Structure 1
Amino acid sequence: MSSKSGKQPLLVLIGPTAVGKTQLSLTLAKAYDAEIISGDSMQVYRGMDIGTAKLPIAEQQGIPHHLIDIIEPETPYSVADFQTGCVNGILEIAGRGKLPFIVGGTGLYVESVCYGFEFSESGSDEAFRAQQERFAEEYGAEALHQKLAKVDPKSAERLHPNDMRRIIRALEIFHLTGQTLSSQLEGQKRESPYELCIIGLTMDRAELYARIEKRIDAMMEEGLVQEVQRLLERGIALNAVAMQGLGYKEIAMYLRGECTLDAAVTLLKRDTRRFAKRQLSWFRHMKDIEWIDAGENFHNNLERIHGIIAGKFQVNLEYTSNQSFLDGGNVQ
């Protein structure tokens, strides 16, 4: 597979949670002999399967998946860590003659690889961090989030109020440099080192929200409460990066007796809907995305997706409506 520019081809599939990326990624990976790299900031953690919606190995259809289950939940994982692992993965996959294929919904992580963001060390101020942590303990996570919103509204918009580590880091960057995190990101180059083909999935908001609620109900049936319980019994701290993920913080509140299970699930559904909205907001600011409606008529759009990829990567794949990558109806 080649590209018009001579750069390494890189296929990317993005979209909000529950929009249908996983099943489509398997279809495309088989059609284009690709290996999948997870673009999800939480799937790197071992023992966190249900809440992160990991695809079981038995359902991966023999397609290699990378950057999944690579570290323990006690270990922090940053965008710079992801970028390094992903770039190395792209080189290895291409070296095997396969197409590198990033699939995920963590906007900054994916964008950092697509456009080769450079992360300079801004230094640290441990006393400042401790001060912000004490502020959050006294006044709550929402109050800390509002502090960030006052100095860096764009970063506040994309960060969940519970994501204290990243909120404090954004405040720390402003404290140390006088520049906001969002302005630093906007100053990054937007020329990709790859021949990019970015497919973005979207759908009617009401339909997406219904799918989110259905997914969370399924997670509860699969044992999300027990998964979070095992993590807490292991001694994973509530302020660990891994425990800030959707599902883990809310269920931990229930297990600690801070709310009922019904209240925790209601909160999780609300937070996940808000997260999907932030994901879409982030992606809307990215360039080079070919948007596809993943709703009821998605089956009819698969041929268009093929045409987009074929045009980018100069492939000549014969296909009809009977072939596997057009089979299966709507993406689940």
Structure 2
Amino acid sequence: MEKVIAIVGPTAVGKSALGINLAQKFNGEIISGDSMQIYRHLDIGTAKDSKEELKLVKHHLVDICNVDQRYTVKDFQKKAVSIIHELNMNNKPPFIVGGTGFYLNSLVQNLNLGGSASGNDDLRDSLLQLEKSGKLEKLQEILKSTDPKAYDSIDLSNSRRIIRAIEVYQTTGKSITQQSNGDKWADFYIIGLTDDREELYDRINQRVDKMADMGLIEEAKAVFDNRATIPQAKNGIGYKELFPYFEGVSDLNSCLDEIKKNSRHFAKRQLTYFRNQMDVDWYNISEVNDYQSVINQKITKFLGGKYDNLE
């Protein structure tokens, strides 16, 4: 059974730093489990690791797409499985790091994501027309009435993911969250980081302020200027909230406050998803003394004798 270690948790909790630390210690490599870090030139708003950090450990599935390319959970699943196979063959433990729960769940549950469409062209055309018209809320309403389980678990800012979930349910009669192949293909140890609410919210607020200082506004302006051709990237938290500023209908501080608010809400959704959908070994970083040493011991036990090149 192949071994996979994943690090999950809400935004800004410290997943990336822990992932680099562990990959270095165990001679592993990192697979990004973030749906936005795949895009080139979207660095600040996606909280991508710095160039220096990316050099410390080999990272996969970062900067692999142009912003106008479509990238689906099925694409992630296919590429991640291939990388996991290769790393295990080379005695390198894979560390999946990221907060996109459905991406990770597609691997853990071995989800059968099926073909590219439902076979109902009229349905797909009508849904794509709503997307083209910018009617995200309408798509959300359709999903909520069609598949409440998916509505509670997938990224509701991603219109293509909503469309896919609606199609899957209309085709199979089952939620996209239940499309499991049933075969366990790998052994997963999932580490969850969390923090006290006030501490976490303070981390989020500080991160947004730091992003603004690093050039988030300029990066978001490039997204705004090309929003007609980048249906997925334009809906990312950290970008869409700044559009009113560029349109001259809101001031910058109000837009930054909106990013902070939406990031906090996103963090709550992430925690809910991971707690309800996966078997996670949780660590409150403000309460567990030397939690990294505890995690090191558990990973060593989890990997067992499979790898002969560990420290």
> TM-score, normalising length from structure 2?
0.88
Check whether the contact 2:150–2:176 (CA below 8 A) recurs between aligned residues.
no
Q: How many Å apart are 1:263 and its aligned residue?
A: 2.5
Q: How many Å apart are 1:275 and its aligned residue?
A: 1.1
1:285-324 maps to which residues of 2 (within 5 A)?
285-295=276-286, 297-314=287-304
TM-aligned CA distance change 1:244 to 1:125, over 3 Å = farther
* Cα distance in 2 between the residues matched to 1:57 and 1:253: 31
* Cα distance in 1 between the residues matched to 2:124 and 2:251: 32
Q: Which residue of 2 aligns with 1:207?
A: 199
Q: How many Å apart are 1:244 and its aligned residue?
A: 1.5
Instruction: Determine which of 26, 30, 41 is the counterpart of 2:35.
Output: 41
* Cα distance in 2 between the residues matched to 1:70 and 1:139: 26
What residue identity is the alignment partner of 2:239?
Y
Instruction: Determine which of 240, 249, 253 is the counterpart of 2:240.
Output: 249
1:190-205 maps to which residues of 2 (within 5 A)?
192-205=184-197
* Cα distance in 2 between the residues matched to 1:184 and 1:11: 24
* Cα distance in 2 between the residues matched to 1:221 and 1:152: 41
* Cα distance in 1 between the residues matched to 2:157 and 2:254: 17
* Cα distance in 2 between the residues matched to 1:137 and 1:310: 49
Q: How many Å apart are 1:136 and its aligned residue?
A: 6.8
1:128 equivalent to 2:123? Answer yes
Q: Which residue of 2 aligns with 1:267?
A: 258
Q: RMSD of the alignment, in Å?
A: 2.7
What residue identity is the alignment partner of 2:137?
E
* Cα distance in 2 between the residues matched to 1:118 and 1:137: 27
Q: How many Å apart are 1:286 and its aligned residue?
A: 3.0
* Cα distance in 1 between the residues matched to 2:160 and 2:248: 24
TM-aligned CA distance change 1:136 to 1:13, over 3 Å = closer
Q: How many Å apart are 1:17 and its aligned residue?
A: 0.8
> TM-score, normalising length from structure 1?
0.83
Structure 2: stretches of 5+ with no match in the other structure: none
* Cα distance in 1 between the residues matched to 2:184 and 2:101: 15
Instruction: Determine which of 223, 232, 245 is the counterpart of 1:231.
Output: 223
Instruction: Determine which of 10, 19, 25 is the counterpart of 2:19.
Output: 25
TM-aligned CA distance change 1:130 to 1:109, over 3 Å = same
Instruction: Determine which of 141, 151, 155 is the counterpart of 1:156.
Output: 151
Q: Which residue of 2 aligns with 1:221?
A: 213
Greater shift after overlay, 76-85 or 114-123?
Answer: 114-123
Instruction: Determine which of 160, 164, 170 is the counterpart of 1:165.
Output: 160
Greater shift after overlay, 243-252 or 144-153?
Answer: 144-153
* Cα distance in 2 between the residues matched to 1:228 and 1:17: 19
Q: How many Å apart are 1:311 and its aligned residue?
A: 1.8
Q: How many Å apart are 1:86 and its aligned residue?
A: 0.7
Q: How many Å apart are 1:282 and its aligned residue?
A: 1.2
* Cα distance in 2 between the residues matched to 1:124 and 1:63: 42
* Cα distance in 1 between the residues matched to 2:109 and 2:257: 37
* Cα distance in 2 between the residues matched to 1:285 and 1:129: 30
TM-aligned CA distance change 1:271 to 1:116, over 3 Å = same
Percent of counterpart pairs with the same letter?
A: 36
Greater shift after overlay, 68-77 or 21-30?
Answer: 21-30
TM-aligned CA distance change 1:209 to 1:45, over 3 Å = same
* Cα distance in 1 between the residues matched to 2:134 and 2:17: 42
Superposed CA offset, 1:111-155 (max 9, x none) = 112232221124254543453465578895334423322232222
Superposed CA offset, 1:32-67 (max 9, x none) = 111111111110000000011111121235211110
Tell me, what secondary structure is at the counterpart of 1:195? strand
1:82 equivalent to 2:76? Answer yes
1:60-75 maps to which residues of 2 (within 5 A)?
60=54, 62-75=56-69
Check whether the contact 1:73–1:236 (CA below 8 A) recurs between aligned residues.
no
Check whether the contact 1:35–1:101 (CA below 8 A) recurs between aligned residues.
yes
Superposed CA offset, 1:48-98 (max 9, x none) = 000111111212352111100011000010001001111111122223331
Q: Which residue of 1 aligns with 2:2?
A: 8
How many residue pairs match? The answer is 307
Check whether the contact 1:238–1:249 (CA below 8 A) recurs between aligned residues.
no
